[in-house]
Amino acid sequence: PKQTRNSLSHTFLNKRVKPVTKSNSLTGVITPVKTPALKRIGQSISRSISFRTEARPLPPAPLRSRTKASSFPRRRNSQCWSDTVESHDLTAKEIKRQEVIYELTQGERQLIDDLSLVKKVYYEPMLKLDIMTESELGQIFGTLDSLIPLHEDLLGRLERLRGSEKTVGEVGPTLMNWFPCLEAYITYCCNQVGAKALLDQKKHEKRVEHFLRLCQESSFSRKLDLWNFLDLPRSRLVKYPLLLKEIQKCTPPDHPDEDTLPDALEEIQSIVAQVNQKTGEAECQFYRRGLCYLEESQRLPEIQQSRFLYCHGELKNNKGQRLHVFLFELALVLSRPTEDKDGGQVFNVYRQPLPNALLNLEEIPDGEAGGGGTFRGAFTGNDKVRNCFRVSSRGRSKFHPYSLQANDSFSKQQWITCLRQAIVQSRDRMGQSQLSPHTDPALYHMAELSLSSDTEMADHTSR
């Protein structure tokens, strides 16, 4: 599900991918890219370094149902540190420490290769062939070009740390001094929301679609599309705290890094949190601008006052209509996606948005009617309607409860969790500040009562 505020893509270390050596199309336009042959992944130690469960995605993204893992190869084959040395007399713990540091170094090298590839095989040919304008390419690629020297700098520092025996002693001070450079990611990641929207829009043009399809089918792409490459910096950013934690686990108490690694970890976690916050704010602003109000009464001040999105994505109403729903910091907005005259996506606000502080949330048991019409009548041949919930707001005129259906149980639970969090935090905020001019103060007490009812219902359901 595309949950928001903390959304950096989950990435995995040491994924196996067959090395690529040649391009089978677009020759003459794209500069050949050399891919060095790499050895197989180290077995036992590499498997023990797993960061999957700790990853925290960065910027917000639409809720979507879980999908099967892609069969496409995502990363090159990687060698481990022990493949690079003929012999050593290190302990198992120190070997693992060297493996993690080597993985950090190799990850920098691979990211540099990928970002350079994006510039050579996507940006430059599309500009040369007038597939997109320079302005459009600037919006889509953002400041990606400036990230290459930044990571080349870290790679050079790490390589200089390797001694004659190819081991690295103290790595903490190097990382501590370099991490502040990652503040450049704020600009890049904040641009990605608009970049993704423009890229999706341009894909409808035949020349763009044809070029991108040829690139993805070519061997140099490893079957990744352009957006996969553009999203790699975000994926890399979230790895740094995870790698540092692994290095810490393998660092002896008397090692010089024991003093500096905690400070380095605190520094990178602070930067990731800052990038996360700014990206969430940028996404919120982007989607607020895309809302098209059909009535002036729909312009709730809570929408404009919201600083971030909890989540957004597709849900169905009890008539079977597909809606794009936004759960902003302070308001719930239902909309119908459409296109403007330029082919860009806009969202026509559907019915009346609701302040989160006044929401009443109710889970609908599987098979029950959705209220105000039924889900069962909306879906032919579906005797048992599942994954539904209802939101309502008491005391508001011309308002009917919204019965909504998620794609699956996982998506439903994501929505329920985000809605409960939004309700609690909005009511806390409303209790500490003046109420909106659109809000009936008498409803605040009823809102508190409805939240208590929601909680009791959830507890009863879980039992």
Identify the weakest region by mean pLDDT among 224-233, 281-290, 437-446. Answer: 437-446
Is pLDDT larger for residue 256 or for residue 87? 256
In this structure, the dihedral spanned by the alpha carbons of residues 153, 158, 163 and 166, taken in order and rounded to 10 degrees, is -120
The pLDDT value recorded for residue 95 is 84
pLDDT digits (tens, 9 = 90+) for 171-187: 999 999 999 999 999 99
How much is the pLDDT for 34?
Answer: 44
The Cα 290–Cα 283 span in angstroms is: 11
Query: What is the spatial distance between Cα 205 and Cα 215, in angstroms, rounded to a whole number?
Result: 16
What residue type is 83 in one-letter code? D
Over the stretch 325-375, which tens digit does the pLDDT of each residue have?
Answer: 999 999 999 999 998 887 788 999 999 999 999 999 999 888 765 444 455
The whole-angstrom distance between residue 23's C-alpha and the CA centroid of its chain comes to: 30
In tens, the pLDDT along 260-318 reads: 999 999 999 999 999 999 999 999 999 999 999 999 999 999 999 999 999 999 999 98
User: Which of 118-127, 232-241, 308-317, 431-440 bottoms out in mean pLDDT, i.e. has the lowest?
Assistant: 431-440
The pLDDT of residue 444 is above 50? no
pLDDT tens digit string along 40-68? 333 333 333 333 333 334 444 444 444 34
Q: Which of 18-27, 210-219, 447-456 has the highest mean pLDDT?
A: 210-219
The pLDDT tens digits for 369-378 are 544 445 544 4
pLDDT of 151 above 80 = yes
Phi, psi (deg, nearest 5) at residue 17 = -145, 140
Q: Average pLDDT in the 71-83 region?
A: 55
Q: How far is CA 430 from CA 85, 436, 443, in A?
A: 62, 9, 12
Q: What are phi and psi of 448, to 5 degrees?
A: -65, -40
The answer to whether 82 touches 45, Cβ cutoff 8 Å, is yes
Closest to 231 (Cα-Cα) out of 192, 266, 173, 176 = 192
Tokens (6 digits) for 247? 């290095």
- Residue 155: predicted pLDDT: 95
Cα distances from 309 to residues 230, 233, 293, 304, 462, in angstroms, run 22, 22, 19, 12, 27
Tens-place pLDDT, residues 379-417: 444 556 899 999 998 665 456 789 999 999 999 999 999
Q: Would you put residue 143 in left (φ > 0), alpha (ψ -120 to 50) or beta? A: alpha
- The tokens 């001694």 sit on which residue? 163
pLDDT over 60 at 439, yes or no: no
- Average pLDDT score, the chain: 78
Phi first, then psi, for residue 324 (nearest 5°) are -105, 115
pLDDT for res 101? 92
- Mean pLDDT to the nearest integer, 26-34: 45
